[in-house]
Amino acid sequence: MAARASGSGTISFGLVSIPFKLYTATSAQSVSFNQLHKKCGSRVKQQLICPVDNEVIQRTDIVKGYEYQKEKYVQFSDEELKSLEAERTDRIDIVEFVPADSVDFIFIEKTIYIGPDKGGDRAYKLLSDAMTRMDRVAVGRFGVRGKEQLVLIRPYQGGLVVHHVYYADEVRNFDDVDRPGEIEFRAVEADLADKLIEQLSTDRFQPEKYHDEYRDRVLAAVDQKAAGQELTIAPEAPQAQIIDLFEALKMSLGKVSPAAAKPANEAEAKPEAEAKPITKAAPASPKTGRGAKRAAG
């Protein structure tokens, strides 16, 4: 079945104008729950209540306000907000082209597919091929929904995708995060870490290998409960003992069993001379998504 376009517009750079259509690239499949009244099982409704007047407020009695100081607001009418909106052009104006490897993934918010609209095939393909050949991505502004969205256009599988990206002041500085300084590692520790990464390495990222195990468990439980069956809750597995880094690396490579590992406060890592050749073990099945987090918790 052909994808249905979610919007349209034009890409503009120089005197070139390329008509395009937008298509949804990603769609979250996470499970969600409704809030029910525990007593009767019916779905509850939310009400808007003014804490000062202690009364339920209708949506027609609501205005938008911006908090400029603690609990101090300036109000805006719909007409005032409308006057502040950017012109809706549905046009992506390319500002510059930059090397693809200069883009940090941290700035990417979401991805949308771009397909050519009527009469745009030749210019669309020319732009995609040229950016692929020169290893460039385009930086542009997208006037949509009354806002000016910063975007990147990237060649992808013979076509184009557009990434909505965050502005610089929307990305927090990683320097604000406490990180370790220079740490000296013995050669044997570095070697074990390299071997562990190599053991778990594959030629390419294959997202089809992964699935949301938490969602699978929830949906299986839904079927079970809908059939009138009771859920059996398994006891939580005991958390793994905190061990020395060197012992953890050896365990991960299958050299020693968990029982043989020494707690960090009881023994130091063995000297490099005692390290033996590494025998690679088959990698364990990877986990990802919320299911993995739940298992790790």
Identify whether residues 146 and 207 lie together within a single domain: no
82's CB contacts (< 8 A; 6+ apart) are 146
Identify whether residues 287 and 144 lie together within a single domain: no
Structural domain of 158 = 7-27+85-170
111's CB contacts (< 8 A; 6+ apart) are 25, 26, 161, 162, 163, 164
Q: Above 90 in pLDDT, residue 39?
A: yes
pLDDT at position 158, please?
Answer: 95
Identify whether residues 91 and 212 lie together within a single domain: no
Domain boundary residue, one of 143, 170, 197: 170
7's CB contacts (< 8 A; 6+ apart) are 21, 22, 90, 144
More confident residue, 219 or 261: 219
CA distance 297 to 284: 19
Identify whether residues 156 and 19 lie together within a single domain: yes
> Mean pLDDT over all residues of the chain?
82
pTM here is 0.70
Q: Where are the alpha helices (DSSP H) in the chain?
A: 78-84, 121-134, 187-199, 213-226, 245-252, 289-296
146's CB contacts (< 8 A; 6+ apart) are 82, 85, 86, 88
Q: Is residue 70 part of a domain?
A: no
CATH number of the domain to which 97 belongs: 2.40.290.10
Lowest mean pLDDT among 51-60, 120-129, 165-174, 267-276: 267-276
Say how many domains are in the chain: 2
Q: pLDDT for 167-207, tens place per residue?
A: 999 999 999 999 999 999 889 889 988 988 898 898 988 98
Q: Is residue 35 part of a domain?
A: no
3-state secondary structure string across 144-202: ECCEEEEEEEEEECCEEEEEEECCHHHCCCHHHCCCCCCCCCCHHHHHHHHHHHHHCCC
